[in-house]
Amino acid sequence: MMRPLIGITCSRVVGGTWSQNSPGRFMDYAFDEYSSVVHHCGGAPILIPTAQNHESLQSICERLNGVILTGGPDIDPHFYGEEPLSGLGEIDEAIDLTELAVVKIALKKDLPILGICRGLQVLNVSEGGTLYQDIPSQVKESINHLQKKDKSVNAHYVRIDENTGLHLIFKRKKIQVNSRHHQAIKDLASSLIVTAWAQDGLIEAVENPSRTFVIGVQWHPEGTWKKDAFSKKLFHSLIRASKSAAKQKS
């Protein structure tokens, strides 16, 4: 059987050496960990550039069997009806527009989606939810969610609700995860349910029970999959769901 095609959304940087003579030109990128783990689990990774053309994105999604929404900069708070606070980080409207469009198309097609860190936040905002723009300045007595160590190391525990798809995958009520975020879900979108929390009560995972496989995690399983069995299980589940989606299509 052909490997399922997994679309991976990109972030952007102002181009490096190549753009010295043409400042302000952007380069799309995604860390290679995303592609590596998709390949390892039996999928074929393909990057979705920050193209803002809805028709193109629709044609791309038509050919995909699954989607990974990757980590990246903050979402422009205007997309959830707020003015920017002083703790807001970098934003990039082009990425927001691309990913929000991808989610809309993917949900309509019931494509499996795994939202990672910013990806979980995109899932929430796309369906009408809101975010804490900056945890340290907005959430009293929050634990440290912006670990200084590399994302290959786990940092804090999350408690997992037993009646969820996430629990079916992990078969554990508590696991340790890494944490490289300064934003989090504030108001949950009505289409989502919470599946895991940090000790301070912040939302660490969500899913959309009306779809076959729509899971968002606030941590970075692509950073730990080589050592951490639970991280690898999450990607295996995405690929399994994407294979089923591919079968149904053919």
In the complex, the residues that contact Mn ion under the rule CB under 5 A are 145, 179
Q: How far apart are CA 109 and CA 18, in angstroms?
A: 38
Residue nearest to Mn ion (CB): 179
Which residue in 99, 117, 127, 182 is the catalytic one? 117
- Provide the 3-class DSSP secondary structure of residue 104: helix
Residue 102 vs 120, nearer CB to Mn ion: 120
Residue 222: active-site member = yes
Residue 18 vs 140, nearer CB to Mn ion: 140
Residue 41: active-site member = no
Q: How far apart are CA 64 and CA 58, in angstroms?
A: 10
* Beta strands, E only, the chain: 5-9, 11-14, 26-29, 44-48, 66-69, 113-116, 131-132, 156-160, 174-177, 184-185, 193-198, 203-207, 214-217
Instruction: Supply the minimum distance, in Å, between the C-beta of residue 218 and Mn ion.
Output: 5
Residue 90: active-site member = no
Residue 96 vs 204, nearer CB to Mn ion: 204
Q: How far apart are CA 42 and CA 14, in angstroms?
A: 32
Which residue in 33, 99, 127, 222 is the catalytic one? 222
| β-bridge pairing 66-69 and 5-9 | parallel
Neighbours of 137 (CB within 10 A): 14
Q: Please identify which residue in the block is written with the tokens 């979108």.
A: 189
Instruction: Supply the minimum distance, in Å, between the C-beta of residue 202 and Mn ion.
Output: 7
Instruction: Supply the minimum distance, in Å, between the C-beta of residue 214 and Mn ion.
Output: 20
Instruction: Supply the minimum distance, in Å, between the C-beta of residue 161 and Mn ion.
Output: 16
Distance (Å) of CA 244 to CA 62, 170, 189: 15, 20, 27
Residue 70 vs 179, nearer CB to Mn ion: 179
Residue 164 vs 179, nearer CB to Mn ion: 179
Instruction: Supply the minimum distance, in Å, between the C-beta of residue 45 and Mn ion.
Output: 25
Catalytic residue numbers, as ranges: 117, 220, 222
